[in-house]
Amino acid sequence: MTAARPIQSVRILVCDPDPATRRTVRAALARRDVLNMIEAESLDAAFSSLANCDAALICLVPGEEGVVTRLRAAGLSGTLVVALAQGSVSGAVAAMRAGADDVVLKPIKVEDVAERLLAAPSGRPERRRALREDRRPLVAQNGDFCGFLGRSAPMVQLYEQINRVAPSRAPVFVTGESGTGKELAANAVHLRSPRHMAPFHALNCGAIPRELMESEIFGHARGAFTGAHADRTGAAELADGGTLFLDEIGEMDLALQAKLLRFLQDGKVRRIGEGHERQVDVRIVCATNRDPVAEVKAGRLREDLFYRLHVLNLHLPPLCERGDDVIRLAEAFLARFAGEEGRPLPRLTPEAADVLRRRRWRGNVRELQNLMRRAVVLSEGVALPATLFVDDRMAAIPEPPPAEVLDTAAPPEPHAVEPLAVTERRAIEHAIAAFQGNIALAAAALDLSPSTLYRKKQSWEQGAARPKASRRTSGPDCALARPAEA
């Protein structure tokens, strides 16, 4: 292997039409004893200066297609960092696929970019080949990939996408239905990244009360608020050097979204109650089971935060699109739960396997997992018949009746109209009862997130625990309480 060159002799190309950006990058490199920087104000000038460059920073504007491929074809084998305008999601994905080592969003942080350019300035072809071999999207014989199980075409494509985005430092936005394994995908990105030896910390933004969310992410100092009896380190600091996964990002309060955006821009954390900031290095992976564009339009997700986070996207396919992966997953779950329950290993009959393939799977892999555990517990023999799944009340979620069959001949009497909160509570409690207390399945049937149901149940329980004198004399809470008090 070629001996490493001294840092002073490294040759770096910086292409940006803005002379101020080129000056600041030059100054940042000079502070690291790199004086051999080549400036280019256009791509034409950059192509004429590629010979023997160890690294390059190329700032692209929307509409420039195929530049990374041309740079690699022209002989640039060193580290390539591409800077893009905010919100250029398709450009970021295309740059990574074409061979860029990293993607940053403008305005760039020059100190950070300088470190990336100097990460491996020598022996780059050998390092690139080793990295490519280490991250080949090969599925093990048992189908495992960083905790995933499946060989279907959509899953193999997902594995390849994870391999492509994992080496980057750019944020990753994971989308997919509830129960498809979004946290597993985030962890796979972490495990396949250079940060795999550092912490992976996960937070569910929908499961934590909003008033505690800021403390969970950024931490707090002792005495910062009532109940803060000791200093607390937030998730951002706990994940320093590694990956912070924020699940259900759309559930985060808008005011906290603004603070998260600032953290993404400068990488600094200020604990609640402290006057100084702490610098951390964290890669953000976030997820949602809703359409993020629709969430932005509805005002539940800040548009500027969305563009900051939605640089690299991973979409998890629903279980109904994964073909025979359903059977392989089912058999794996049966083996696990049979061992846990101390029972003989059951097997699926051909008829049962056919039923599972045709099932709707609104709860996806989570629903399949729960169903296999139930089958292990309730089965009376080794062979699992199809009737065990056909008769299951969760096999098919009933559709609402079509609008044309509803009785709209006469309007209801005014006294029959009830508060919306009462109707909502009745519908939620009915769904929870129908699914035997399973919040996730009830939420799927109601087209809500599980965190929404948990919050509503908590608010009802807190309302029921209030002293009668402190309750309101009108409104939804009072309406819900009247039958019990009568």
**Cβ atoms of 349 and 385 closer than 8 Å:** yes
Q: Which two tokens stand for residue 7?
A: 């840092």
Output the pLDDT for position 434.
81
* CATH fit for domain 7-134, picks 3.90.700.10, 3.40.50.2300, 3.40.50.970, 2.30.140.10: 3.40.50.2300
Residue 7 is predicted with a pLDDT of: 60
| Placement of tokens 């997953």 in the chain | 329
Position 242 scores a pLDDT of: 93
Q: Is the pLDDT of residue 248 over 90?
A: yes
pLDDT of 369 reads 92
Cβ–Cβ < 8 Å for 312, 174: no
pLDDT at position 484 over 60: no
**Residue 2, pLDDT above cutoff 70:** no
How far apart are alpha carbons 444 and 438 in whole angstroms?
A: 10
Read off the pLDDT of each residue in 425-451 and give the average, rounded to a whole number: 79
Q: Quote the pLDDT of residue 472.
A: 47
Domain ranges of the chain: 7-134, 144-315, 319-390, 417-485
Q: State the average pLDDT for the chain.
A: 80
Res. 63 pLDDT band, cuts 50 70 90: low
pTM listed for this prediction: 0.57
- What's the confidence (pLDDT) of residue 400? 47
pLDDT attached to residue 176: 94
pLDDT of residue 395: 42
CB 428 within 8 A of CB 442: yes
Dihedral Cα 75, 77, 78, 83, nearest 10 deg: 70
Superfamily of domain 144-315: P-loop containing nucleotide triphosphate hydrolases (3.40.50.300)
Catalogue the E-assigned strands of 41-117.
55-59, 79-84, 102-105
Helix (H) or strand (E) holding 284: strand 283-288
Q: Which residue has the tokens 């840092």?
A: 7
Residue among 167, 165, 161, 138 at smallest CA distance from 315: 161
Is the pLDDT at 401 greater than 80, yes or no?
no
In this structure, which CATH number among 3.20.20.450, 1.10.8.60, 3.30.70.3400, 3.30.390.30 belongs to the domain 319-390? 1.10.8.60
pLDDT higher than threshold 70 for residue 13: yes
* Cross-strand partners of 84: 105
> 404-435 burial by CB neighbour count: b if 16+ within 10 A, else e?
eeeeeeeeeeeeeeeeeeeeebeebeebbebb
Please provide the DSSP assignment of 426-464 as one string: HHHHHHHHHTTT-HHHHHHHHT--HHHHHHHHHHHHHHH
Cα–Cα distance measured from residue 211 to residue 225, given in angstroms and rounded to the nearest whole number = 11
What's the pLDDT score for residue 306? 94
More reliable by pLDDT, 9 or 211: 211
The predicted pLDDT at position 202 comes to 92
Residue 466 confidence (pLDDT): 59
pLDDT at 171 over 90: yes
Say whether 144-315 and 7-134 share the same fold. yes
The residue that leads in pLDDT, 384 or 402, is 384
Question: How high is the pLDDT of residue 304?
Answer: 94
Q: Check whether 456 has a pLDDT greater than 50.
A: yes
Does 416 have pLDDT greater than 50? Answer: yes
pLDDT in tens, 39-51: 888 888 887 777 6
Percent of the chain with pLDDT over 90: 35
- Average pLDDT over every residue of 324-345: 90
Q: What is the pLDDT of residues 292-312, one digit of tens each?
A: 999 999 999 999 999 999 999
Give the rounded distance of the alpha carbon of 90 from its chain centre: 18
Identify which of 23-27, 265-269, 384-388, 458-462 has the greatest average pLDDT.
265-269
Q: Does 122 score more than 50 pLDDT?
A: no
> What is the band of 215 on the pLDDT scale with cuts at 50, 70, 90?
very high
- What percentage of the chain reaches a pLDDT higher than 70? 79
CA distance 380 to 50: 71
Burial of 385 (0-12, 13-18, 19+ CB in 10 A): middle
From CA 61, how far away is CA 261, in angstroms rounded? 23
pLDDT for the residue 221 = 93
* 385 and 355 Cβ atoms separated by less than 8 Å: no
